[in-house]
Structure 1
Amino acid sequence: MFSTSFLILLALIIIPILLAMLLVVVIFRRTRRGRRSPLSGNLLRSPGESLRIEIDQISERANDFIFIVLLTCLPPLVVASVLSSVQTNKVPEWQLILDFLFYLALLALVMRRLYQLLKLRANLYLGLDAELAVGQELNHLMAFGCRVFHDFPAEKFNIDHVVVGPAGVFAVETKGRTKPDKGRGSVDATVVYDGQILRFPDWHEQEPLDQARRQADWLQKWLSSAVGTTIPVRPALAIPGWFIERTKPGNVLIFNGKNPNFLARPQGLAGSMTTELQQRVAHQLEQRCRDVAPVAFQKKREGVSFGKR
């Protein structure tokens, strides 16, 4: 059992830390009393909104793990070391060894989980970078009379971008993929699309194409029901940073995020949307996308992870 002096010393280390943290929170809250946000309504979603929320949540969890390590491992070891040097009856070496092994095992478990979180966050950052890059390019389509919505919330998933314009509605899925660095020049940066499969330098993928089709089908059904008339939706897939080599046509539009003007003035696509119908479609999309509360005075930011990455 721990001696009374050990417990007292442990309390002298931990209690000031907790009191200092509590004091900071109290002072911060008092400085914000009697004030509120100047914004009265929700904001539209930005590119990668869901990923940004998930990244924030992972960062908070990672910080929690680091705090656990500092709070549970360091103080007891410091206390044991101090007591061992100042007490007449020193702490037995076997007890110090057991304490050290226990905290070492705890540290290993926490570090393993922390590594997993950091690895997941790095992958999410890649996806966020890709969605931001594509979203910023798509925003240029507004100059051609298009409306662009980002991170459209569907049923347990999100559609990265939705473009509404004279040429129709496009559901744009974005995929961030790292490039191999094997000194093969353009080969390391080219993806071949044969209408069915995406052939990267060292691997093949079909799921992104299937996902783009599923999301376009869902959006078409939802919009047609919401607007009250059939609204065709074309699937598109953006792979930013890659060269796209098309060997055969497919029913999914593939591009690397750059120069998306073809979505505003496509060639060979039947049908067009009247200005009135565009406005009706955009209204339905905006109602669903305008759900981001201003965060300056928000007590707790809540987000949904769709788990689609």
Structure 2
Amino acid sequence: MSPASQFIYFVIYAAVMTGLFCFVFLMRQRRRTSRFPLGDDVRAMRRAGEQLDRDLAVLNERFEIQCLLLLALPLVGLGLPLWITQPFSASRHLGVVAACLALALAGLILMIRKMLATLEEIRNKRLALFGERVVADHLADLSAKGYAVFHDVPCLGGGGPFNLDHVVVGRGAVGVVETKTYRKRAGVNGKDYEVSYDGQKLVWPDRTSTRELDQVNGNAEWLRQELKKHLNLDVPVCAALTMPGWYVKGAPPQAPVLVENTKRLPNFIRERFQGGLTKEQEDLVCRHLRSLCMNVEYAAL
């Protein structure tokens, strides 16, 4: 069979498969005899880790596409040149095949590196998502005691969009809770489960950091400005930081940020998050936070 005939068969095959795909898609659209039971303007509340969940969906799709490209690279990079160079002499197409093989090999290496990076990102996002949901489960105890708890509150700052992991409202106070879920390094100084807090910095088994404290303080300030702008309430917003699975040493009572183990966090919030809001002002804050969080569309699920 000549190369021209092979090319014609390939074009016919591609056209038939494309036509079948379009036919199935159109039939699926036509067979929809039911309609969405809710109004187009209906929205659901954000869950803990809502944005992380969406990020994971995007990453999983990216990884699937990368897998398909990895499978297609040898076929396109080596099979296609072999097919095209069939009518030429071996001495002429050997160089072309060798060059295509080198390019295909480079493409494979690059794609594998991209896939490994995507897998690492998926791994970290999954850990962060699980940590946020664990914290949300513990904060649910506050709901039973009259607190309002909101998760993954969407924000827009000077550096772009971001989220407040958790916000609690109750006993006249408003508080922001930031979750940091870090893996432990076994055998570091014999204690891989402890983090010390002196009110100014965090001392981990392998490093010292203030980044987490700066972030939660910045989040609390953003929420304070948000409430002042939209509700005309200048409310001090408390800040808390929790690390699921880590034991916190120190944690001075007068520290600007409450840093505590996840299991003990609800009790410390009840003790330390005190404010001067009236019940009516609390309701006003809750309504505003609810308006921010009530933005999950059916199409996004």
Give the TM bin, normalised by the shorter chain.
0.7 to 0.9
In 2 relative to 1, CA 182–14 (structure 1 residues): closer, same or farther, beyond 3 Å? farther
Task: Name the one with the larger strand percent.
Answer: 2
Residue of structure 1 equivalent to 2:167: 162
What is residue 64 of structure 2 aligned with on the other side? 63
Q: Which amino acid aligns with 2:75?
A: L
| Runs of 5+ unmatched residues, structure 2 | none
Alpha carbons of structure 1 residues 228 and 111: separation in structure 2 relative to 1, 3 Å:
same
Higher relative contact order (CA 8 A, sep 6+): 1
Greater mean deviation of Cα atoms: 229-238 or 14-23 = 14-23
Match of 1:240 in 2: 244
Q: CA deviation at 1:241?
A: 0.8
**1:11-160 matched pairs, under 5 angstroms:** 11=11, 14-15=14-15, 18-19=18-19, 21-32=21-32, 34-38=34-38, 41-74=42-75, 77-78=78-79, 92-155=93-156, 156-160=161-165
Q: Distance in 2 between matches of 1:77 and 1:37?
A: 52
Partner of 1:305 in structure 2? none
Secondary structure in 2 matching 1:229: coil
- Measured against aligned partners, the alpha-carbon deviations of 1:54-106 in whole angstroms (never above 9, x if no partner) come to 2212222222222333345425645666899xx79776444433332232222
2:193 corresponds to: 189
Return closer, same or farther for 1:197/1:278 CA change in 2, 3 Å cut-off: same
The correspondence of residues 216-255 of structure 1 with structure 2, limited to 5 A, is 216-246=220-250, 248-249=252-253, 250-255=255-260
- Give the secondary-structure state (helix, strand or coil) at the position aligned to 1:154: strand
Q: 1:260 to 1:37 in 2, by over 3 A?
A: farther
Which has the larger displacement, 253-262 or 139-148? 253-262
Q: What SS does structure 1 have at the residue aligned with 2:271?
A: coil
Residue 140 to residue 237, structure 1, CA distance change in 2 (3 Å): same
Pair 245,18 (structure 1): closer, same or farther in 2 beyond 3 Å: farther
Are 2:201 and 1:200 equivalent residues in the alignment?
no
Give the drift of 1:129: 1.4
The alignment yields a C-alpha RMSD, in angstroms, of: 3.0
Q: Whole-Å Cα distance in 1 between the matches of residues 60 and 289 of structure 2?
A: 30
Instruction: Give the aligned residue type for 2:225.
Output: K
Runs of 5+ unmatched residues, structure 1: 303-309
What whole-Å deviation, never above 9, does each CA across 1:114-162 have from its counterpart, x for those lacking one? 2222222222222111111111211221100111111111112211110
Instruction: Specify whether residues 202 and 77 from structure 1 end up closer, same or farther in structure 2 by C-alpha distance, changes over 3 A only.
Output: same
Assess if the C-alpha contact under 8 Å between 1:195 and 1:251 holds in 2. Answer: yes
For 2:65, give the aligned amino acid.
Answer: D
Alignment match, 1:292: 296
Match of 1:211 in 2: 215
**Contact map agreement 2:81 2:97 (CA 8 A) in 1:** yes
Count, aligned residues = 292
Q: Following the alignment from structure 1 to structure 2, what is the Cα–Cα distance between the partners of residues 9 and 199?
A: 67
Q: Which amino acid aligns with 2:173?
A: G
Moved more, 9-18 or 97-106: 9-18
Out of 216-225 and 71-80, give the one that drifted further.
71-80
SS at match of 2:144: helix
* Kept after mapping to 1: 8 A contact 2:48/2:152: yes
